[in-house]
Structure 1
Amino acid sequence: MTQDRSDPPAHDITTEIDSLRTALTRNKGKRIRRLLKTMHPAKIASLLETLTPEQRIAAWHQIDPSVELKVLSHLPIRLRVQLRRAMDADAKVALGELNQPISEDTAAAADYDEPETQLSLVFDALQNGKLKRIARLFRELHPARIAGLLESLPAAERATAWSMVDNERTGKVLRHLHEEVRQRLAAEMDLEDLVDAARRLEPDDLVDLIQDLPDTTGRQILQAMNMRERARLESMLSYPKDSAGGLMNMDQIAVRANIKVGTLLRYLRLLDELPPNTDKFFVVDRKNQYQGILRARRVLTARPEAAVEDLMETDFEPVLAEQSSEEVARRFEQQDLISLPVVDAENQLLGRITVDDVVDVIREQAEQSMMRMAGLDEETDMFAPVLASSRRRAVWLGINLLTAFLAAWVIGLFEGTLQQVVSLAVLMPIVASMGGIAGSQTLTLVIRGLATGQLESRNTRILLLKEAGVGLLNGLLWALVVAALAIVWFGNWAIGAIIATAILVNLLCAAFAGVAIPLLMRRLHIDPALAGSVVLTTVTDVVGFFTFLGLATLVLL
C-alpha cells in the first residue's frame, strides 16, 4: 500500500505536547498560555501527565484560573494532590472570584498596597516559584504600575514576571515602559503575541512602539495590519518621533461650518463613545482645510437649530506637524489645553494631540534632563547589562579625568608655594567648592530658562547682570566669613585676605560661567544639561586654584 504524498512523514509532525515542551524549555510563558487556552480541560490534563514534575508545575502556573478545577477533575488523585500543594491556599479559596479582572479605572483608584509591598510580593513569588500569585497581582494593578514593577526587577526576573502579564494587557503595559526596557521585552515576545498586543493600542501609542522596535520587527507589525490601518500608521510614522506629527492621533472629529448643532448631536449619538479627551471638535471645509474649533461645551448648551459657524472659534491656532514636541508641550502648559489640532504646511487637518501624550513628553524630558546631568542620558534601565552600562559611563568618566588633570596641572604650577605654606592645601577645597556650588545654581537656572523658553537673546544680558550681582553679594558675605575663620584657625591675616579675594573672584567667575556656558553650548548644538556641569566644574576649579595659589605666591613668598 503506497503512502499518500500529501501526508507528512511521521517524524515531521509537531504535536501539541511537542510545542508545549518547546515553550517550557524556552520559558515562553505567553506561548504556553496561548496553547493551553485553546485546549479542552481533559486534553490539558492528559498533557500534564506526560510532562516531568518540573515541567508540570511550570505549565500549571500558566493555566487560566477559570479552568483549574476542571483540569484537576480529569487528573489522577496522585497528580491532583501534587498540583494542589503547588497552589496557594488563598488561590484555592478565591479561585472562583479571580475570573473577572478589575477594570483599569478601578485599579488605578484602588488603594491596594504600598509600592514596596507590591515589589516584595513579586520578589517573594519569583523566589518561591509562585507565578500565579504574580498573575493575580498584575490583574489588580493599572498597566502603568505593572510597568513600574517590571522596571524594578533585574533582567532575568523581569522576563519571568513579564510572561505572567495577561495578553490582553500586554500592549498597554508596553506603552508605559521606558524605551530601553520596552525594546528588550518586545524582542523576547513571539511575533504573533506582539502583533496581537499592538492591535490593542491606540494608533499614536502603536506608532511610538513601532519606532522603538528594530526596523524588521516594525515592518512585520505593519504587514500584519489590514490595508487601512497600515496606511494610517505609515502616514503617522512619516513624521519624526519628537515632532507634533509624531505625537498626533487621527481620532479627531471634524465637522463642517454649515451644519446645525442638532445634526452634529445626532451624529455623535451614532458613535459608541467619543475619542478620549474630546473637549473640542475641529471645523473644516470640503477640502479638509482647517477653519477653527467648536468647543464641546458650546454644543451641549446651544440650541439644536444653531449653526456651527455661529459658535466656532476661528482664531484658535493649530500646530504644524513639523513643530517640535518641546514647543507643543510648552503651549499645552501655557494655555492649559486638553487637545490641539495638527495641520500640514497647506493647512490640511491631519489629526490632533491630546494632553495624555504631552504629559508623557514632559515626564520624559524631565527624566532625560536629570539623567543627562550625570551623563546617563541613554541609561533608562537601571538593571541594564554591566558591559552596556560601563561603556556608556566610561565616556564621561574619561572626559572628567581630562578636566581633573587640567586642574591638577594648575596646582602643579604652584608646587613650591604649597611646600612652603602647607596651610594653603587645607583651604584649597573651600575655594573650589564655593565656586562649584554657586556656578551650579546659576547653570541650573539658565538651563531651565532655555528649556521653558523664558530665556532669549533679548533678556540674556539682564540675567547676566542679575547673576553677577548675586555673585558679588554672596562673594562678599562668604569671603568675610571664610577669612575670619582662616585667621582664627591659622593666626595669619594674609592667608585670610588671600582666601577672601579668591572666593570673591571665583563666585563672580562662576556666575558668568553659569550663564555663558549653556548659551555657548546651545549655539554649538550641544545639550547643556549633558555637558554643562563638567565644563563649569573645570572653569571654577581652574580659576579658583589659580587665583588662590597665585595670590599666595605673590603675597606670602
Structure 2
Amino acid sequence: MTGNEHQPTSPTPITIVRRLDPEDAQQALHRVQNVLKRQEVVETLSQRQNEGDERANILSGLTHRRHEKEIRAIINDLHPADISFILESLPETERQAVWQQVSDVHDADVLLEIEDWARESLIKSMEPEDLIAAAATMDADEIADLVPDLPPDVIAAVQKGLTESERAQLLEAMGYPEDTVGAIMDFDMVRVRENISLEVVLRYLRRLQELPDHTDQIFVVDRDDRLKGTLSLTRMLVSDPETMVSAVMAEEYLSLHPLDSDSDAANAFERYDLVSAPVVDDYGRLIGRVTIDEVVDVLQEDSQEQALSRAGLQEEDIFAPVLSALRNRAPWLLVNLCTAATASFVASRFEETVSHIVILAFLMSIVAGIGGNSGNQTMTMIIRAMAMGRITGANIWTLVKRELLVTFLVGACGSLVTAVFAWFISGSIAISIVMMAAMIGNMLIGATLGVLIPILRDRFGKDPAVGSSVLLTFGTDSLGFFLFLGLATIFLV
C-alpha cells in the first residue's frame, strides 16, 4: 500500500424514503407552490386587517408556521437533486423561503447539485457558521467548486478545519482553470503496489467501510506515486487470490492531464465507455481521477451552453430581474435588428422590380427561409463535429465540398416542388425558373455559411456556437433577397 491511499472513513447515513423518480420532484414542486400561494393569501388578508388586532396576528403567525411545517415535510424527504430542482423552479423570494426550511443535513448536497446562478443567492442568505458546517462535510474537490461563491472569511475558516493533505488538495484544485480536467477531478481513490498479491488487496479493501463512488478500477503506483497500471475490480475478483498484482494489472490505459479540456475528457469517456480514468501530472504521478458522474455534468453543461449560445444567450435565472435579463438578451437582439435592417435595405433596392411583379414579395420569404434552414442543418452538424474534435485543417475543404454537394441535391429536389407552387400562384413559367435558381443558390449559400461561421469563430478564439444562428440568418436573408430579386430583375423585368 502507499501512504496516500483512501483511508477508512465513517459512512454518511443516507435514508432513502422513496424511490427516485423525476415525477416525484414535479409533484413536490406543485405541492410547494400550492402551500406558498395559500401563505400569500393569508398574508394579503392579514395586511388588510387592523395591524393592532392581536388575535389576527396570532392566527396569521400560527398559519405561517403550519405552512412552513408542510414545506419541510414535502422537501426534506426528497433527494438533494430534487430539492435543487424545486429551488431552481421558484422566484428568488419564494426560493429563499423554501431554502430556509431545508434540513441542515441536505445543505452541502444541495449546494453542490444546484445550478451556479441559483447557488449564489442561497449562499448569500446563509449564516457563515452554516456555510462552514456544510463545507466541513465536503471533499476538497467539492469545496473548490464552491469557493468562487463563498465569502473570504468562510473560505479561511474552512481551510483551518482541513488537514494538511486536504488543504493541499484544495489549493491544487483551486489552481486549475475552469473547463479543465483538473477542475473536475476527484482525489478520493484506491492505490496499491504491483509487488503484492490480490489476497492482500482484498484484505485491504475489506478494511474500508466503503469504496469511493464509481470505483471500477484500482490504480497501481510505485513508491513515487508514478502510475504503473490499473487493476480492474472484475478482473481481480475472478483471478486466483495468490496472483500478484503485476500479473493481472493492465499496463495499457487511458490517462488524462489536469490541463486537458474537460470536453475532451468527456469525449474520451464516450468513445471508450469509461467509468473512471486516472489523472497524471507531467512526471507521470497519479494526482487524481475523473469519474463518470462528473463527465455527465460536463456533457449536460456543454449541451445547455451550446443551445443558449446559438441564440446569443448566457445561462441565467429564469426569474432574474428584468434589467439582468435585458443585459443578457439585448446585445444579440440588437445585432439581429441590424442584420434584419440590412436585409430590408437590400430588398428596398429592388423596389421597382417588386412593384412591377408584386408576386415576388410573397415568394422571396420562401427563398430566405429555406436557405436559413439549410444552413442551420449544416451548422448544427459542424458545431457538434467540432465539439467531438473531428474537424481538422486537413478535412475542412473536403467537408465544405461534401456539404455543398448534399445541399445541391436536396435543393434540386426541393426546388421542383417550389417551382410548381410558384407557377400555381403566379401562372408564370419564368417566375418558377427564377424561383428554382434562387432557392438552390441560397441553400448553397446557407450551407457554405453553416460551415464557415463556426470554423472562423473558432479560428479567432471565439465560441463557435455564440450567436451563430444570428449571423447565419443575416447572410441567408440578405444574400437570398439579393439573389432572388437580382435574378428577377435580370430575367423578368
- Structure 1 stretch displaced more, 451-460 or 336-345: 451-460
Listed one character per residue, the Cα deviations across residues 282-315 of structure 1 (whole Å, up to 9, x for unaligned) are 1111111111111112222222322111111111
Q: SS of the residue aligned with 2:297? A: helix
Summarize deviations over 1:439-495 as a string: whole Å, max 9, x none. 101110111111112333333333222211221112212222222222221222222
Aligned residues of 1:377 and 1:530 also touching (Cα < 8 A): no
Name 2:458's counterpart in structure 1.
Answer: 522
Deviation at 1:278, TM superposition (A): 1.1
The residue aligned with 1:456 is 392
- Whichever residue aligns with residue 491 of structure 1, its letter is G
Query: Which AA in structure 2 matches 1:238?
Result: G
Cα offset for 1:198?
Answer: 1.4
- SS of 2:457's partner is helix
The answer as to 2:207 corresponding to 1:270 is yes
- Please state whether the residue corresponding to 2:395 is helix, strand or coil: helix
Separation in 1 of the partners of 2:35 and 2:491? 70
Secondary structure of residue in 1 paired with 2:394: helix
Look up the match of 2:9. Answer: none
Which residue number in structure 2 is paired with residue 318 of structure 1? 255
Gaps of 5+ in 1: 1-101
Q: Is the contact between residue 483 and residue 496 of structure 1 (CA under 8 Å) also seen in structure 2?
A: yes
CA distance in 1, matches of 2:413, 2:151: 57
Instruction: Classify the secondary structure of the residue corresponding to 1:496.
Output: helix
Q: 1:254 to 1:116 in 2, by over 3 A?
A: closer
Contact 2:140 2:167 in 1 (8 A): no
1:211–1:241 contact (8 Å) kept in structure 2: no
Maintained 8 Å contact 2:214/2:291: yes
Match of 1:168 among 95, 102, 105: 105
Q: Which has the larger radius of gyration?
A: 1
1:434 shift after superposition: 0.7
The CA distance in 2 between the partners of 1:528 and 1:104, in whole Å, is: 45
Asked if residue 386 in structure 1 is aligned to residue 322 in structure 2, the reply is yes
Question: Number of residues paired by the alignment?
Answer: 455
Q: Following the alignment from structure 1 to structure 2, what is the Cα–Cα distance between the partners of residues 338 and 147?
A: 25
SS at match of 1:318: coil
Alignment partner, residue 125 of structure 1: 35
Aligned to 1:446: 382
Q: What is the aligned counterpart of 2:192 among 255, 274, 288? A: 255
Give the Cα separation in 2 of the matches to 1:537 and 1:223. Answer: 55
> For the residues of structure 2 that align with 1:461 and 1:368, how far apart are their CA atoms?
27
Partner of 2:142: 205
Give the C-alpha shift of residue 531 in structure 1.
2.0
- Whether the 8 Å CA contact 2:404–2:448 is kept in 1: the answer is yes
Give the aligned partner of residue 5 of structure 2: none
Going from structure 1 to structure 2, the CA distance change for 1:241 and 1:111 (only over 3 Å counts) comes to closer
Q: Which amino acid aligns with 1:279?
A: D
Equivalent position to 1:363, from 300, 305, 318: 300
**One-letter identity of the residue aligned with 1:486:** A
Q: Report the counterpart of residue 82 of structure 1 in structure 2.
A: none
Partner of 1:296: 233
Assess if the C-alpha contact under 8 Å between 1:211 and 1:218 holds in 2. no
Residue 137 in 1 paired to residue 70 in 2?
A: no
Three-state SS of the structure 2 residue aligned to 1:350 is strand
What SS is found at the alignment partner of 1:427? Answer: helix
Q: Within the alignment, does 1:412 sit opposite 2:348 as a pair?
A: yes
Residue 63 of structure 2 aligns with which residue? none
**Partner in structure 1 of residue 475 of structure 2:** 539
User: Are positions 1:427 and 2:363 aligned together?
Assistant: yes
Query: Which residue matches 1:494?
Result: 430
Residue 232 of structure 1 and its aligned partner are, at CA, apart by 2.1
1:553 correspondence with 2:463 = no
Residues 217, 490 of structure 1: CA spacing in aligned structure 2 closer, same or farther, 3 A cutoff? farther
Q: Which residue of 2 aligns with 1:93?
A: none
**Which one-letter code corresponds to 1:151 in the other structure?**
E
- Match of 2:416? 480
> What is residue 238 of structure 1 aligned with on the other side?
175
Partner of 2:47: none
More deviation, 405-414/211-220: 211-220
> What letter corresponds to residue 121 of structure 2 in structure 1?
R
* Residue of structure 1 aligned with 2:91, choices 140, 154, 177: 154
Q: 1:397 — aligned with what?
A: 333
Alignment of 1:20-99 (within 5 A): none
Identical residues among aligned pairs (%): 40
Cα RMSD of the aligned pairs, angstroms, is 2.0
Q: Secondary structure at 1:250's aligned position in 2?
A: coil
Within 2, Cα distance between the matches of 1:476 and 1:306? Answer: 67
**Alpha-carbon distance between aligned partners in 2 of 1:330 and 1:215, rounded to the nearest angstrom:** 36
Greater Cα shift, 224-233 or 513-522: 224-233
* Counterpart amino acid of residue 413 in structure 2: L
Asked if residue 334 in structure 1 is aligned to residue 271 in structure 2, the reply is yes
Amino acid at match of 1:239: Y
**Superimposed CA distance per residue, residues 33-79 of structure 1 (whole angstroms, 9 cap, x where no aligned partner):** xxxxxxxxxxxxxxxxxxxxxxxxxxxxxxxxxxxxxxxxxxxxxxx
Superposed CA deviations along residues 364-423 of structure 1, whole A, max 9, x for unmatched, are: 1111111112222232x2111211111111111111112112212211221222222222
> For residues 273 and 390 of structure 2, what CA distance do their matches in structure 1 show?
17
* Structure 1 residues 493 and 144, CA gap change in structure 2 (3 angstroms): same
Distance 2:161 2:233 in 1: 36
Letter in 2 for 1:425: A
Residues 28, 75 of structure 2: 8 Å contact kept: no
Partner Cα distance (1:419, 1:151) in 2 = 53
Q: Which amino acid aligns with 2:100?
A: S
* CA displacement 1:60-117 (0-9 Å, x = unmatched): xxxxxxxxxxxxxxxxxxxxxxxxxxxxxxxxxxxxxxxxxx945554x245955443
Q: How many angstroms apart in 1 are the aligned matches of 2:369 and 2:163? A: 62
Cα offset, 1:436, TM superposition? 0.6
Q: Would you say the 8 A contact 2:279–2:288 is kept in 1?
A: yes
Contact 2:408 2:443 in 1 (8 A): yes
8 Å Cα contact 2:230/2:253 also seen in 1? yes
CA contact (8 A) 1:283 1:294 kept: yes
In 2, distance between residues paired with 1:321 and 1:110?
34
Does the 8 Å contact 1:104/1:141 carry over to 2? no
Instruction: Indicate the SS of the match to 2:228.
Output: strand
Give 1:377's match in structure 2, choosing from 314, 339, 356. Answer: 314
User: TM (normalized to structure 2)?
Assistant: 0.88
Q: Distance in 2 between matches of 1:113 and 1:247?
A: 29
Higher relative contact order at CA 8 Å, sep ≥6: structure 1 or structure 2? 2
Q: Is the 8 A contact 1:195 1:224 kept in 2?
A: no
